[in-house]
């Protein structure tokens, strides 16, 4: 995945200091912007100062527009994602930590779960922000930019599942049985490995969903549209960063396998 192409646009006042994404800086964006799209939350949107009242989607009981359905998809899919992350943290990692006898070695736990707790915390906070947007696409865009500015790109996703660590666990009868029991308690149709892939899969979808908002935005000019474009650029930047970390993680594993060693989780784990 190549670094995202930057397109110059008018400078904005910063709401908060930007968090750089590896040599791909995110542009500043507006505060106190006007609503020019007539489709937003009547209570205003998070982070805006001096914002104007915004008109809601359609009339009560009416079918949402395509743009409204895109926003709903972002919120609903984030809710599902947060639920999946919670099942990993509580249903697997929590059970491992609470076990009377050690089930996995510390290095196995680190290689398997990485920064999954940080990812879950970020997703839960993002979900709360999205749920407060009242289906306003501009407010949704603000949520993504704000979340990136107050954190680091590495908190959005892990570089990938350690296939070697998972394979090692499955070769151990005791560990494999423990993981299967966790899966059965959670009533998951898929094993742990499939759920550990979800952070990387999710991070690569955010900018695509935001692009759908931009594509169907009524007024493709003005401050509100600039905020949506800023969110697309920001999440493309984060996706590029995570994808780059994933590539380096896989390269480190190939090198370690070639030398007969075990990959170091600290060398491939994203900063948080």
Q: What is the pTM of this model?
A: 0.71
Place of tokens 């993504």: 144
* Phi/psi at 263 (5° precision): -65, 145
Q: Which residue has the higher pLDDT, 138 or 61?
A: 138
* Whole-number pLDDT of residue 7: 41
CATH of domain 66-263: 1.20.900.10
Weakest-pLDDT range from 51-55, 89-93, 149-153, 189-193: 51-55
Q: Is 89 helix (H, G, I), strand (E, B) or coil?
A: helix
Distance CA 234, CA 66 (A): 23
* Phi/psi at 21 (5° precision): -105, 85
> Which residue, among 185, 196, 181, 191, has the nearest Cα to 109 in the 3D structure?
196
Contact status, residue 6 vs residue 137, Cβ threshold 8 Å: no
Token reading at 44: 């205003």
Render pLDDT for 98-121 as a digit per residue (tens, 0 to 9).
Answer: 999 999 999 999 889 988 999 999
Token reading at 36: 């020019």
Distance CA 271, CA 256 (A): 21
Which residues, at least 6 apart from 187, have a Cβ–Cβ distance to it below 8 Å?
A: none
């Amino acid at each position: 995945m190549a670094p995202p192409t930057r397109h110059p646009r008018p400078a904005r006042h910063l709401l908060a200091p930007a968090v750089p994404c590896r040599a791909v800086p995110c542009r500043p964006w507006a505060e106190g912007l006007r609503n020019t799209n007539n489709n937003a939350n009547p209570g205003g949107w998070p982070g805006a100062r001096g914002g104007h009242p915004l008109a809601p989607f359609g009339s009560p009981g009416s079918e949402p527009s395509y743009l409204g359905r895109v926003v709903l998809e972002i919120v609903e899919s984030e809710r599902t994602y947060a639920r999946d992350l919670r099942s990993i943290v509580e249903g697997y990692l929590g059970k491992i930590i609470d076990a009377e006898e050690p089930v996995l070695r510390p290095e196995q736990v680190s290689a398997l779960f990485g920064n999954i707790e940080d990812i879950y915390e970020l997703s839960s906070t993002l979900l709360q922000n999205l749920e407060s947007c009242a289906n306003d696409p501009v407010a949704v865009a603000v949520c993504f930019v704000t979340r990136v500015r107050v954190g680091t790109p590495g908190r959005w996703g892990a570089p990938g599942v350690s296939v070697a660590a998972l394979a090692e666990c499955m070769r151990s009868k005791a560990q494999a049985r423990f993981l299967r029991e966790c899966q059965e308690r959670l009533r998951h149709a898929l094993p742990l490995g499939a759920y550990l892939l979800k952070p990387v899969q999710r991070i690569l979808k955010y900018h695509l969903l935001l692009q759908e908002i931009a594509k169907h935005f009524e007024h493709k000019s003005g401050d509100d549209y600039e905020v949506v474009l800023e969110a697309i650029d920001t999440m493309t930047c984060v996706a590029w960063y995570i994808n780059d970390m994933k590539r380096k993680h896989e390269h480190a594993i190939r090198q370690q396998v070639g030398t007969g060693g075990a990959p170091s989780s600290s060398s491939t784990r994203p900063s948080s």
